[in-house]
Amino acid sequence: MIKLIPVKVECHSGYKADEYPRRFFRDEHAFEVLEVTDRWYQGDQDSEIPASNYFKVLVTDGSNFILKHVLGNDSWFLCEKV
């Protein structure tokens, strides 16, 4: 089971807004993204699953995290295994 934890994310905006995460904040702690190691897409406008981008990221302390960006309402979540 996955728990979705709301987080604030600062993104790189290139050819589109919120192209990929550069930094995220959880409990007033900042995590600097060194690299996006994987990314994928889920859902679409015609599905019951909200269209979302997922990013597997490597941060400066060597930890890996998965971030979910729900496109419809521009919200970000940290995906945590429970």
The model's pLDDT over 11-62, given as tens digits with 9 standing for 90+, comes to 998 777 778 999 999 998 999 999 999 999 998 766 788 899 999 999 999 9
Q: Three-state DSSP class for 73?
A: coil
| Pairing mode, strands 29-42 and 52-59 | antiparallel
Say whether 3 sits in a helix, a strand or coil. strand
* Domain region containing 75: 2-81
All residues at 6 or more sequence positions from 66 whose CB lies less than 8 Å from its CB, including other chains: 54, 55, 56, 57, 78, 79
What pLDDT, on a 0 to 100 scale, did the predictor assign at position 16? 73
In angstroms, the first-to-last Cα distance of the chain is 6
The number of domains in the chain is: 1
Indicate the pLDDT class of residue 7, thresholds 50, 70 and 90. very high
